[in-house]
Chains A and B, each alone.
Chain A
């Protein structure tokens, strides 16, 4: 004790400087502590999620469950259908939470909502995704894991009343940490955060918290799962002289990724044609079909790590491998486009392993001796990078999953070339394109804020329409009852124009014309917005006509309304966020 006292006395000055330094070192210590806590909690969340899926996978795998109950296994083939029904039910009961799914919802919350993810949404995705994946859907756990980790980071920041800057930091850290934990791959978790959530912003202040949280979560994951990799990698042989084949496989991976995206896009269009915006109900026929297929190809049931291990150990004939590849591509696309809760990383690994194995088998058949297991691993990296636009994460994830340094060079080649092939063709990454479809263009310069916001992301659905034939007195009464203006439609419910309170002041003060006019007479014939128009375009039109709202139409039918104040509000929010980020750098 005496020694401690003398030490304190000796270093008193240093201690004082430590706690009163200009660059408040306490803040850094608190940030490290917070990142460790968030990482640990996100890791725990991911482990709870992992346990739920594993428990369901083992307990209700059609084969296992049938064995316990001593009933024919085909009866249990209905499990994916039950999962589908529960998922549809949950989506219908909680439409608000269901809407905010996947990795893109985290990017959106970081970019537009100060990293805010409601805890109800986090819990919803924990349960809904566990049901979806646990009942055999051929999707992956990474999207929901990131949502759970990011959601927990956001919730803790809210509980501690942290400012928006810190909330963003811990939301990003939580998302990356959960990926680290679920794949037992801490470096890949960090790069997932950088490449996907932060959209390659390497200068982002969330980076240090992301690294620390990923380490903490991986410690939790290793304590729980042990040091074992998810995959059992067999002994394989690859040689640097096989470079041309690595390159060729990389291009094949890029092409397969593009084919999958094309298939997925066409299925999306088909779903929309059949069910409009209510595509989740299509999960029922899809899961019915899947249940039938699973009865024949049981290996397609669930996330697919067991399938990867079987492929790597040369368990299947070439014909079966081709069938598995085709069915996996088809059902991942069919499931993901219904809005089922799951990610694309694990399916990418499965598709990649099948593509790589078939690639090497094909050349072996032609007389070029290539090791299918080695190429299957390279294929995982290629498809993972191509399909998810995550070249660095893919390299590190496959490396961490295989724990084999020899594979890193061919994987680097496969990941980067496959990613470049896809990005070159699509003019953007999959997440950028998904966000663009939802109205947020993250590809353009950040300065051009209004150009980057699509009206789709700010339009309101609670607009009021009025028929053009409505007498003026009724129109005026309706106008006085509402906040904005009215959208005028014809007898076919097609857009005609708008009326606003500003435009009808004269009609309000002069009773003379009320009996003469109908709504049609006071319509402003302003060209409506399309969903893909930018907020800048909306403001330009409003300024031109001196109005403060506009209708949004889709094929002449009114689908929403955009108000001037909403554009200004979102603009201010983004500017404040950018200023805060700039100050923090």
Chain B
């Protein structure tokens, strides 16, 4: 598996307006609309929400990692959403989420999916990088952080 930058793009980074977690997920998932990543955004959003209902992906430290594997996902990828005001994600530490990393994978990309999630989690566990990303002013800045982090 290559660098994290191979799985995202500046287009997939968004500063979120929604403060509700489901709306935030939908807002962020829409960055894949019209791309070759996902051919059915509606189904993707539904899958993300369904997964979120089973158990929160708000893992604490102001981060949430919603994810879903779906037949209509053609390329494994992730999007990043930044919320300056914070989103109530029912996180395990009870704190609001300021960064949402949304992972999309195809039904058959099981191993790559786990590897990508592992890589993302490893990056986010680095306090400095995490804080830098949350405080980033632009998508370009986040891309640079990812580039430097590899």
Contact = CB atoms under 8 A, between A and B. Distances in A.
A506 B115 CA distance: 6
Contacts of A512: 117-118, 121-122, 125
Contacts of A504: 114
A469 B110 contact: no
Interface stretch (A136-144, A245-253, A286-294, A517-525): A517-525
A469 B121 contact: no
B136 interface: no
A525 B69 CA distance: 10
B107 interface: yes
Contacts of B121: 510, 512-513, 516
Nearest to A467: B54
A516 B54 CA distance: 12
Given A512-B122, A516-B121, A525-B107, A469 B54 contact: yes
Contacts of B67: 521
Nearest to B112: A506
Interface string B44-80: 0000000100110101000001010100000000000
B110 A510 contact: no
Nearest to A520: B54
B111 interface: yes
B105 to A, nearest CB: 10
A516 B111 contact: no
A503 B111 contact: yes
Given A512-B121, A516-B57, A521 B51 contact: yes
Interface string B63-105: 0010101000000000000000000000000000000000000
Contacts of B114: 504, 506-507, 510, 513, 522
Nearest to B51: A520
A513 B67 CA distance: 12
B107 A506 contact: no
A506 B118 contact: yes
Nearest to A504: B114
Interface residues of B, number: 18
A468 interface: yes
Nearest to A471: B55
A515 interface: yes
Nearest to A525: B107
Nearest to B70: A525
Nearest to A507: B114
Given A510-B118, A513-B117, A518 B110 contact: no
Contacts of A469: 54-55
Contacts of B125: 512
B54 A506 contact: no
Interface in A504-555: 504-507, 510, 512-513, 515-518, 520-522, 524-525
A503 B115 CA distance: 11
Contacts of A513: 114, 117-118, 121
Contacts of B51: 520-521
Contact of A522 (B55, B65, B107, B110): B110
Contacts of A468: 54
Nearest to B71: A525
**Residue picked from B51, B57, B107, B121, most chain A C-beta under 10 Å:** B121
A469 B50 CA distance: 12
A440 B65 CA distance: 49
29 contacts: A468-B54, A469-B54, A469-B55, A503-B111, A504-B114, A506-B114, A506-B115, A506-B118, A507-B114, A507-B118, A510-B118, A510-B122, A512-B117, A512-B118, A512-B121, A512-B125, A513-B114, A513-B117, A515-B59, A516-B59, A516-B65, A517-B117, A518-B55, A521-B51, A521-B67, A521-B69, A522-B110, A522-B114, A524-B110
Interface of B: 51, 54-55, 57, 59, 65, 67, 69, 107, 110-111, 114-115, 117-118, 121-122, 125
Closest 7 CB pairs of A and B: A512-B121, A506-B114, A510-B118, A513-B117, A513-B118, A512-B122, A512-B118
